[in-house]
Structure 1
Amino acid sequence: MKARSIVVYTVLRLLAFLVPFGILMIFPLFREYYWLAAIFAALIGLSLSMLFLRRPLDDVSAGLAARRREEKAAASDEEVEDEAGGR
């Protein structure tokens, strides 16, 4: 798994939240109700990530799946060796 793909996805998700939050905080109503700005920014960020961040999410998911397969294969190899050595 590439650490770069995880970092890219994380930074893009943070930007998808922080940019709308910053824009909403410009308005006087949202300065008073900052929690409302956070909720709207979260909804906007979620929508943006679903629309535009599909590819980075697929890269991260594929890397995690490959890593899990490697760990499972290594664990099964060790079990086979333990059973063969124990007989």
Structure 2
Amino acid sequence: MRVRSTLVYTVLRLAAFLVPFGIMMLLPVMREFYWLSAIFAALIGLSLSMLFLRRPLGAMTEGMAARRPRRATDEDIEDAATESEKS
């Protein structure tokens, strides 16, 4: 897994939450209901990340998939069993 792609995606995700949260906290009404600002910021951040962060997410998941060990499939196990029976 490339650390750079993970770091870029994490920083962009945090920015997608913190920027709307900071803007909403500038409003006097939202200072009283900070939890509502957090909920709205989370929804806005989720929407922004789904729209604009597909490429960093893809790079991060490719790195994770390349690092993960390959699992044996049923066909591999059956082939190994038939090979051991033949020997």
Is the pair's TM-score, using the shorter chain for normalization, greater than 0.5?
yes
Which letter does structure 2 place at the counterpart of 1:32?
Answer: E
**Residue 39 (1) aligns with residue 44 (2):** no
Q: Take 1:46 and 1:69, find their aligned partners in 2: how far apart are those partners?
A: 30
Which letter does structure 1 place at the counterpart of 2:26?
Answer: I
Q: CA deviation at 1:15?
A: 0.1
- After superposition, give the CA deviation of every residue in 1:41-86 in whole Å (9 maximum; x if it has no partner): 000000000000000000000100000036x59xxxxxxxxxxxxx
**Residue 30 (1) aligns with residue 27 (2):** no
**Which residue number in structure 2 is paired with residue 17 of structure 1?**
17
Gaps of 5+ in 1: 74-87
Gaps of 5+ in 2: 73-87
**Which residue number in structure 2 is paired with residue 4 of structure 1?**
4
**Which residue number in structure 2 is paired with residue 55 of structure 1?**
55
Which letter does structure 2 place at the counterpart of 1:13?
Answer: R
More helix by proportion, 1 or 2? 1
**Which residue number in structure 2 is paired with residue 85 of structure 1?**
none
Work out the percentage of aligned pairs sharing the same amino acid: 71
Which letter does structure 2 place at the counterpart of 1:40?
Answer: F
Which letter does structure 2 place at the counterpart of 1:44?
Answer: I
Root-mean-square deviation over aligned CA pairs: 1.4
Q: Take 1:8 and 1:54, find their aligned partners in 2: how far apart are those partners?
A: 12
